[in-house]
Structure 1
Amino acid sequence: MPRNKKESLIFGVIMCMGMVSVMATYNLLMLEDLEKLTLQTVLTEIIAGFIVALILDLYIVGPLAKKLTFRLPFDKSNKVLVVLCMSTSMIIGMVFFMSLFGLLMSYLGHGLDGRGVLSAYGTIFVKNFILAFPLQLLVMGPIVRYIFTTFVQREKVA
């Protein structure tokens, strides 16, 4: 795991790139008007999503998840529990905020299609959580931790 601000930034960039790429693709595929998508729309969504996700990760959700994790009453020497608690906190926080971002992008792109704001947000949140939770815990989290410890932290030792 990251030991300083530089490593936190690198870890956050790698994680956000992976999660935003998959989640943006998923959300674009959930749209019913796939044939209307342009390369510009896709790139705009991914780049904007990456910037928003990285800011949230580094300055809002990340610090809050860390505080919450280390305030909860469990054995912090158990690294697996720490990673699971931190990851779960991050997933919930990021899905909460990135679903708001998705709602805004959807509204700007084609409106809410007659749905209420809360209904549209609830639908987006649930769909995002259903993919983000297993994606983060089972796929991206382990892959990013492996890449990070193998290529980033190894450089410090060498």
Structure 2
Amino acid sequence: MPKTKKEGLYFGLMMCFGMAVVMGMYNMIRSGQYEQLTFGQLVLGLLLAFVVAFVVELVIVGPFARKLAFKLPFTKKKKVIMILTISTLMVIGMVLCMSAFGLIMSHSALGGASWSEYGENVWKNFVVAYPLQLLIMGPVVRFLFVKFVQKTAPVSLGS
């Protein structure tokens, strides 16, 4: 969808912001941290999650997901299939990475989280992140991106 690197950066920022805020809140509520944190700590935690998610998406998960999607054996001509494939690979990669980040943050905040919880966190995060990405955040961000960010060629009214 983005046509330039600059557009790709904006699209990634928009998608990461939405996903990081919703998934961060979901995980804070699920772990019980939401009631224990001050408003400032909550905002700082969500901001940190956004920054980490954006760097992970930009440097690791995004390039890998796109490269893998183009290597998979199916026709690349159908735009919706490519969007679904890349979105699926992105969610899998981001859930794996951000679940580890969340576990590290939870351990430092609460002192009780352990790596044995990683598999359970991955599953619980995937079950929320995948439909969130496909049904809500993906369409909303694409709409906002096209409406406010992506530059379209001016329409010619004649010669």
Into which bin does the TM-score normalised by the smaller protein fall? over 0.9
The reply on whether 1:99 has 2:99 as its aligned counterpart is yes
Query: Alpha-carbon deviations, 1:96-147, whole Å to 9, x = none?
Result: 000010000000001225xx41x21112111111100000011000111111
Distance of 2:53 and 2:32 partners within structure 1: 25
Does 2:153 correspond to 1:157?
yes
| 3-state DSSP of counterpart to 1:157 | coil
Deviation of the 1:36 alpha carbon: 1.7
Q: How many residues align?
A: 154
Partner of 2:143: 146
TM-score by length of 2: 0.92
Q: What amino acid maps onto 2:41 in structure 1?
A: T
Q: Which whole-Å CA distance do the structure 1 matches of 2:74 and 2:88 have between them?
A: 15
Determine the structure 1 residue equivalent to 2:89.
89
User: What one-letter code is carried by the residue in structure 1 that aligns with 2:124?
Assistant: K
Name the SS of the counterpart of 2:41 in structure 1: helix
Mark the runs of 5 or more structure 1 residues left unpaired by the alignment: none
Summarize the alignment of residues 1-158 of structure 1 with structure 2, pairs less than 5 Å apart. Answer: 1-32=1-32, 34-112=34-112, 116-117=114-115, 119-153=116-150, 155-158=151-154
> Which of 1 and 2 has greater Rg?
2
The aligned counterpart of 2:157 is none
1:60-109 CA-to-partner distances (Å, cap 9, x unmatched) read 10000000000001110100100000000000000000001000000000
CA distance in 1 between partners of 2:34 and 2:18 (Å): 22
- How far off its partner does 1:40 sit? 2.1
Deviations for 1:32-70, whole angstroms, at most 9, x for unmatched residues?
354322112211211110101111111110000000000
Aligned identity (percent) is 48
Distance 2:2 2:22 in 1: 23
SS at match of 2:77: coil
| CA displacement 1:4-49 (0-9 Å, x = unmatched) | 2101100000001110110011011112354322112211211110
> Hey, which bits of structure 1, 4+ residues long, moved more than 4 A?
none
TM-score using structure 1 length = 0.92
Q: Is the 8 A contact 1:112 1:120 kept in 2?
A: no
Coordinate RMSD, CA, aligned = 1.3
CA distance in 1, matches of 2:125, 2:79: 27
